[in-house]
Structure 1
Amino acid sequence: MNDGYSYTVIRVQPNEQTHIGVSIYPDALAEVKYFPAKEHSHAFITITHGVADVTIGTTNTAEITDEHVTFARHLLNAAAAFLADCERLHAEQQAAA
C-alpha cells in the first residue's frame, strides 16, 4: 500500500527566526541508504520519499569530532526506539486481526 506522504513547512514571521520543517511519513516507496566515507568524501545517510530528500552526514572534513560521534549515537538510539515501537504496534495489529 502506498499511502505515505511528505511535506515541508517554512514558517516566516516578523521578528522571529525562520523555521523549516521536513516531515516524511513513509510507505513502500521510501528509501533509506547509507554511503560510507571514502578518501575524498564524508559518510552520510539519505532518506528519499517522492521528491523529498533528506541527507544526514558528517561535515566534509578529514576530522570527525566528538560532536559527530555523539550525534550518530543519538540518531542510532532514536532509530532503534522507532523500530521497537513500529514492531510492537505491528505485532499488536497482527494479533488483533
Structure 2
Amino acid sequence: MNTGYSYTVIRVQPDVETHIGVSIYPDALAEVKYFPAKDNSHAFINITHGVADVTIGTTNNAEITNEHITFARQLLDAAAAFLADCERLHAEQQAAA
C-alpha cells in the first residue's frame, strides 16, 4: 500500500525572509541511496520519493572541512534516532495487533 506523500512549501511574504521546506513521508516507493566519492568527485546521499528528489553531499572537488564532518555526524545521529523510534513504534503496533 502506498500511503506516503511528499510536498514542498515556498513561503514568500513582503519584508519576511523567503522560506522553502521539503517534507517526505515515505512509503514503499521511497529510496535512499549513497554515492561514494570517486576520482575527485564528491560523496552524496540521494533521497527520492515520487517526483521529490533531495540530495545531500559535499562540494565537488572541495576540501572536506570540520563542518562537513560535524554535519555528517548530526545526520547520522538523527537517522539513528529516527530508526530507533520507527522500530519502537512498529513493535508497539505489532504487540497491540
Same fold (TM over 0.5): yes
Q: 1:92 and 1:78 mapped to 2: Cα distance?
A: 21
Structure 1 residues 72-95: Cα deviation after superposition (integer angstroms, max 9, x where no partner): 000000000000000000000000
Letter in 2 for 1:7: Y
Deviations 1:45-84 (A, max 9, x none): 0000000000000111341000000000000000000000
Give the gaps of 5 or more residues in structure 2.
none
SS at match of 2:85: helix
Looking at secondary structure, tell me which structure has more strand per residue.
Answer: 2
Amino acid at match of 2:18: T
Question: How many residues are matched?
Answer: 97
1:3-44 deviation per Cα after TM superposition (whole angstroms, max 9, x unaligned): 000000000000011000000000000000000001131000
| TM-score of the aligned structures, taking structure 2 as reference length | 0.98
| Structure 1 length-normalised TM | 0.98
Check if 1:58 corresponds to 2:61. Answer: no
SS in 2 for 1:86: helix
Cα separation, 2, equivalents of 1:59 and 1:71: 13
Partner of 2:49: 49
Q: Identity percentage over the alignment?
A: 88
Task: Kindly indicate whether residue 22 of structure 2 is the aligned counterpart of residue 17 of structure 1.
Answer: no
Residue 71 of structure 1 is matched in structure 2 by 71
- Which runs of 5 or more residues in structure 1 are unaligned? none
* Equivalent in the alignment of 2:34: 34
Question: How far apart, in 2, do the equivalents of 1:34 and 1:12 lie?
Answer: 33
Q: What stretches of structure 1 move > 4 A for 4+ residues in a row?
A: none
